[in-house]
Structure 1
Amino acid sequence: MISENLKAKLKTLPSAPGVYFHKNQKGEVIYVGKAAVLKNRVRQYFQNTEKDPKTEALVAEIFDTDWIVVETEMDALFLESEMIKRYMPQWNILLRDDKTVSYVRIDMNNPVPYVSTTRNPLDDGATYIGPFYAKNTIIKALRILRKIFPFYEKPYDGKKTLNSDLGLTPGIEIGKTTPKDYKKSLRFLIRYLNGDREKLIVDLEKQMKAAASLGNFEEAARLRDEYFGLKGLKRKIVFSDKEFLDLSSDQALLELKQLLNLKDPPRRIEGYDISHISGSNTVASMVVFQNGASDRTAYRKFKIKSSKNDDTASMYEVIFRRLKHSEWSFPDLIILDGAVPQLSAVIHLLEQAHIPVIGRNKSGDHTRNADVNVIIPVRQSDGSYIYQSQLYSNDSHLAKLIARIDEESHRFAITYHRQLRSKQLLGR
């Protein structure tokens, strides 16, 4: 039996696409789902219709439901993916077969790459975009985007096919383009899939005009087709552009606003981590979360130039270098992997830039089960700082978000460090 409060809440569900969060009596998120029409999808759980045993067990645990409204079903696809990664709800694991998780794979090291989907990303040097939790939706998206950025969906064999005539391949097999220009187009596709939609359209327009001014009319025509193709998509398909999200719906962002006494919930959060082994190949990562969701197009990596075996000095260097990049939007909050030493090293830099910062002290524990110990600088009347420690249970909304950002910054730093080590071992 559902409560009267939940019954009343369900009556307010909108007829719009979005992501919904089923919660248990403790307030824990136990299932995240997406819907083309929230009102129809969420109410289905509570209708007296026959359900499979797993779904019946899920419904029996639901005490409350929240939701976030988005503009398109495609936005719901990407937001659902991010929120599942943040909360790792038990019932998403129980109800979803792993086969439903898909990645888009493009191997740019291949002389003539092709675009495919896979359930199992490998450490093979290819570009993987995802995961996506609805394979059919991402396949539909690729079908639309292929009309703008033609690509091969199978290994290239040089043979003409019907897709060549339909303009769905780049046409290398008929002399329409070259592998080099094809790869340029694929880089645009990757940017779009990663969420760099608005900037990509601006860049395409600039490149189109530049090519025309230089008399390279074939290149200008190709860029024109891509530019107007993307403009024409409008709201048919939108990837990871979450500026329209109602931030008040994200409990973790609200908790950060209250904790740090911010004027508004932090729209852009940057996370930083340092990685090295005994001071060799020291690197730093910068990951970006827009409105609580990862924005991989804005990630940056740094090869540390100064002290190689001093995390505090390395953190100072990366923040110092980052602040020089005014062309990157400045964040509303920075989260460092570290405690008082790292915060003390950068606090005055960030104070001058008017950017709040906190640290996460986890003593090397990057697992999802680790509690989140937040270190907060508090400015004293004499201009000095004291550092307050606040421990959050790993099942709280704020802890889930900070752990997700930490996990991404750690993963991104480790990946770059391994790349440098591999090059060093290979003598490149």
Structure 2
Amino acid sequence: MISYIKGNRKAIMLWSWSVERVKTASLELHDFERFAGLRNKLRAMQELQRRVMFGDKEFLDISKDKALADLAKLLGLKNIPVRIEGYDISHMSGRQVVASMVVFTNGASDRAEYRKFKVSDKNDDTGNMYEVIFRRLGERNIKSWGRPDLLLIDGGKGQLAAAIKARDERGITVPIISIAKREEELLVHKIGSQITAFIKQIQSQPRADIAIHEDGDIYVVNLHPSQRNAGSHSKNLRASIEQNRKERPVTGESSLATTDIVKLFQRIRDESHRFAVSYHTALKRQHQTKNQLEEIPGIGPKTRAKLLRKFGSVKKIIEADYAELQAEVGSKKANLIKHSS
């Protein structure tokens, strides 16, 4: 049902309009019982439309249309960012280095478009981010995956600078911003991010719900001024939601729902982090299992290749019965494998 509704927002709006018309007719006919039923259905549908955001099992209290429109206004984008891509790097001291690319289309997670990258093993987050964005914006991937409207980097000034450098070397025009981990603030490069218009306006006309300060060539944008010093991943973004509900623009300020923008960024950043960590964990487990077989004395490359052809994976080799192993490599090597597992 939710998937149907997500793809048929116009149908919802038409349905809501129809209910309004029938509701009016019911009042005119003094059919108050029918009016009450229609009113309740209408409210339920309107609430569902407002809450549908990311997927069948992911309900967040957010209006994605409002969030995207306000995001475009905040960043001074010419158009609403239809395709937003989030990036994160995951590794363990420079080993099994991977990167995630998550995609949000029209404000909703688009998991069919997610991509993952194996990156050169080095303990260098800025270098790794450069490599990922450079590969992503290559001509072949642009043609296959399309052109993003906004890149969201999980990281600080170094990762943002690396992503901007990679983009510029590819000759692509696309806005790039990042989220700093400690305070969960947006980092916008004054020139490289390609977005400054509305930020400059906010600086000249301060607001209660947005705080901006400059750090060299970076604008630091805080959409939750009352929340500081996050102690864990996304703490400030999450904690700011209820507080921002109570904050209202001062007289003369234009309406800008920072709460919805915060939720959207929080979701993209958390999803890119989750996807990167899950891929890193899978590679780490695969590597550990592979080493388990390679480290058995007396089991050489030819034997491993023979066993892999038969069983399909190292895990299945380790889990195989003694009789199955003996039939393939003899009792001596079968004993070595079983005693080591």
Distance between the aligned counterparts of 2:8 and 2:128, measured in 1?
44
What SS does structure 1 have at the residue aligned with 2:55?
A: helix
| Residue pairs, 1:140-179, within 5 angstroms | none
Residue among 116, 129, 137 paired with 1:301 = 116
Distance between the aligned counterparts of 1:335 and 1:403, measured in 2?
11
Q: Which has the higher helix share?
A: 2
Letter in 2 for 1:319: I
Residue among 227, 233, 253 paired with 2:68 = 253
Q: Which runs of 5+ in 1 are unaligned?
A: 1-15, 21-33, 69-75, 90-247, 364-370
Distance between the aligned counterparts of 2:173 and 2:187, measured in 1?
18
Show the counterpart of 1:48: 36
| Change in CA separation of 1:19 and 1:329 when aligned onto 2, cut-off 3 Å | same
Show the counterpart of 2:288: 425
Shift of 1:308: 1.9
Q: Does 1:353 align with 2:326?
A: no
Q: Are the counterparts in 1 of residues 53 and 64 from structure 2 also a CA contact under 8 Å?
A: no
Query: Could you list the runs of 4 or more consecutive aligned residues of structure 1 that deviate by over 6 angstroms after TM superposition?
Result: 40-44
What SS does structure 2 have at the residue aligned with 1:379?
A: coil
| Residue pairs, 1:115-126, within 5 angstroms | none
Q: Deviations for 1:120-148, whole angstroms, at most 9, x for unmatched residues? A: xxxxxxxxxxxxxxxxxxxxxxxxxxxxx
Q: Are the counterparts in 2 of residues 282 and 303 from structure 1 also a CA contact under 8 Å?
A: yes
| Change in CA separation of 1:19 and 1:390 when aligned onto 2, cut-off 3 Å | farther
Residue among 24, 29, 38 paired with 2:16 = 38
Show the counterpart of 2:261: 398
Shift of 1:83: 8.5
Shift of 1:35: 8.9
Distance between the aligned counterparts of 1:359 and 1:322, measured in 2?
17
Residue among 377, 381, 395 paired with 2:189 = 377
Q: Which runs of 5+ in 2 are unaligned?
A: 1-6, 24-33, 193-215, 225-239, 242-258, 291-313, 315-341
Compare CA radii of gyration and give the structure with the larger one. 2
Show the counterpart of 1:82: 55
Q: Does 1:388 align with 2:219?
A: yes
| Change in CA separation of 1:398 and 1:308 when aligned onto 2, cut-off 3 Å | same
Q: Deviations for 1:33-91, whole angstroms, at most 9, x for unmatched residues? A: x79933477999x953599xxx9xxx8xx9x96957xxxxxxx9xx55539736258xx
Q: Are the counterparts in 2 of residues 85 and 404 from structure 1 also a CA contact under 8 Å?
A: no
Q: Deviations for 1:374-414, whole angstroms, at most 9, x for unmatched residues? A: 1111119xxxx811111123321111111111111111111
| Residue pairs, 1:305-320, within 5 angstroms | 305=120, 307-320=121-134
| Change in CA separation of 1:280 and 1:289 when aligned onto 2, cut-off 3 Å | same
Q: Deviations for 1:346-383, whole angstroms, at most 9, x for unmatched residues? A: 213324311110001123xxxxxxx7411111119xxx
Q: Are the counterparts in 2 of residues 86 and 400 from structure 1 also a CA contact under 8 Å?
A: no
Residue among 3, 9, 18 paired with 2:9 = 18
Q: How many residues align?
A: 212
Q: Are the counterparts in 1 of residues 185 and 222 from structure 2 also a CA contact under 8 Å?
A: yes
Q: Are the counterparts in 2 of residues 266 and 332 from structure 1 also a CA contact under 8 Å?
A: yes
Distance between the aligned counterparts of 2:282 and 2:61, measured in 1?
28
Q: Are the counterparts in 1 of residues 53 and 60 from structure 2 also a CA contact under 8 Å?
A: no
Residue among 326, 330, 334 paired with 2:147 = 330
Q: Are the counterparts in 1 of residues 131 and 166 from structure 2 also a CA contact under 8 Å?
A: no
Show the counterpart of 2:81: 266
Structure 1 vs Structure 2: percent identity of aligned residues?
Answer: 37
Distance between the aligned counterparts of 2:123 and 2:152, measured in 1?
21
State the TM-score, normalized to the length of structure 2: 0.53
Q: Are the counterparts in 1 of residues 99 and 276 from structure 2 also a CA contact under 8 Å?
A: yes
Q: Are the counterparts in 2 of residues 17 and 36 from structure 1 also a CA contact under 8 Å?
A: no
Show the counterpart of 1:228: none
Show the counterpart of 1:93: none
| Change in CA separation of 1:66 and 1:251 when aligned onto 2, cut-off 3 Å | farther
Q: Are the counterparts in 1 of residues 64 and 106 from structure 2 also a CA contact under 8 Å?
A: no
Residue among 334, 343, 361 paired with 2:160 = 343
| Change in CA separation of 1:250 and 1:49 when aligned onto 2, cut-off 3 Å | closer
Distance between the aligned counterparts of 2:8 and 2:146, measured in 1?
29
Show the counterpart of 2:323: none
Q: Deviations for 1:187-227, whole angstroms, at most 9, x for unmatched residues? A: xxxxxxxxxxxxxxxxxxxxxxxxxxxxxxxxxxxxxxxxx
Q: CA RMSD in A?
A: 3.8
Q: Does 1:283 align with 2:274?
A: no
Letter in 2 for 1:356: P
Distance between the aligned counterparts of 2:38 and 2:84, measured in 1?
44
State the TM-score, normalized to the length of structure 1: 0.43
Residue among 388, 409, 419 paired with 2:272 = 409
What SS does structure 1 have at the residue aligned with 2:70?
A: helix
